[in-house]
Amino acid sequence: MAEVSEKKTTSDVAKKKSKKVEVASDATKKPITKKAVAKKTAVTKATKEIAKKEVSPKAKKAATGATKADKVEAKEVVKKPKADTRAKKYRVAFAKIEKGKEYSIEEAVTLIKETATTKFDSSVEIHLNLNTDPKNPEHALRGSISLPGGLGRNKKVAVVCGTDKEKEAKAAGADIVGGKELIEKISKGDINFDVLVATPEMMPELAKAGKVLGPKGLMPNPKDNTVTNDIKDTLEDIKKGRAEYRSDSYGIIHSVIGKASFDAKKLNENAETFLAAIHNLKPSSVKGTFIKSIYVATTMGPSIKVKE
């Protein structure tokens, strides 16, 4: 019994010593910092990447079971033709146009009338890609062209002029006529017209409304012939139908030359008049071809390429 008690006491002493050693070692351990954790994670990532690189291609193929033939088949499955999501009417109209063909104006006008897909009377648009430099001020084209067949639109015209021109403007068919009081209304955002014409002496006063008119493209401009003393002829041209044009930042002109309901003869005359007027505006610095491409289209309809 004495021997057993001695063994117990010695074992207890040994346990106490080991506990003391553990406490001492814990005390000597350094606290874990964020830097240490980040370093440890970086090391583990690096070792994993090295392990991935060391895996042979054969082992990868064996693991995945993918062969070259399987990959080719997978690619072929992915490359499916996209479904044509356009409307059925548009697809039927588009099928009438021969791909890559350039049509004469007469042929294009005939197709235009056949490819008008809207329920309303579509506008006939013309788009010209010009051989110009949009950064060159001389190449910036803007103005209006009086078309023989008109545009089929009833435009509301306002005239800003002095009291001596008011009677002439009303007699010529102006819908709104006024002076400084009209300018004040426009400055407040009261705009209920499509075209604004002004006499030269009223332009300094009208400049006050520039912030309102400018963004809407309604500011009178001598190039558009909307700053003039000849109010009668200007209003006649506007009411009859005048195609306005302006080259954009890519040197492209977009304009309207009539309605789909127009007869073919009227549309032909309008298109030829418009193209002839643009040709005459060729800047002297432009060498070679001036109009690179011509397209016509109806509202929401497919475009048709026209021969130059």
Position 26 confidence tier, pLDDT thresholds 50, 70, 90: very low
Written as one letter, the residue type at 188 is: K
Written as one letter, the residue type at 74 is: A
The answer to the question of residue 4 being in a domain is no
Q: Give the residue from 225, 240, 255 where a domain finishes.
A: 240
Same domain, yes or no, for 254 and 110?
yes
Same domain, yes or no, for 224 and 198?
yes
The DSSP code sequence of 162-225 is: -GGGHHHHHHTT-SEEESHHHHHHHHTT----SEEEE-GGGHHHHGGGHHHHHHHT-S--GGGT
Write down the pLDDT at residue 253: 94
Per-chain mean pLDDT for the chain: 80
Q: Give the residue from 196, 211, 240 where a domain finishes.
A: 240
Overall average pLDDT of the 2-14 stretch: 48
CA distance 210 to 220: 10
The answer to the question of residue 176 being in a domain is yes
Same domain, yes or no, for 144 and 200?
no
The answer to the question of residue 68 being in a domain is no
Lowest mean pLDDT among 67-71, 202-206, 211-215, 228-232: 67-71
pLDDT tens by residue, 207-248: 989 899 988 888 998 888 899 998 988 888 888 778 888 899
Q: Choose among 128, 129, 104: nearest CA to 268.
A: 104
Same domain, yes or no, for 262 and 197?
no
Which domain CATH number covers 201? 3.40.50.790
Overall average pLDDT of the 9-31 stretch: 50
Same domain, yes or no, for 268 and 286?
yes
Lowest mean pLDDT among 34-38, 163-167, 183-187: 34-38
Same domain, yes or no, for 269 and 299?
yes
Domain of 158, in residue numbers: 154-240
Overall average pLDDT of the 19-33 stretch: 50
Overall average pLDDT of the 86-104 stretch: 87
Same domain, yes or no, for 192 and 213?
yes
Give CB contacts under 8 A, 24+ apart, made by 88-92. 89/117, 90/117, 90/300, 90/301, 90/302
Write down the pLDDT at residue 100: 87
Which domain CATH number covers 124? 3.30.190.20
Same domain, yes or no, for 296 and 224?
no
Does the pLDDT of residue 1 top 50, yes or no? no
The answer to the question of residue 205 being in a domain is yes
Q: Give the residue from 224, 240, 256 where a domain finishes.
A: 240
Written as one letter, the residue type at 169 is: A
In percent, the amount of the chain with pLDDT more than 90 equals 32
Distances (CA, A) of 213 to 150, 246, 247: 25, 17, 19
Domain count, the chain: 2
Write down the pLDDT at residue 55: 53
Same domain, yes or no, for 226 and 186?
yes
CA distance 210 to 219: 7
Write down the pLDDT at residue 258: 92
pLDDT tens by residue, 136-175: 988 988 888 888 888 887 788 999 999 888 999 999 889 9
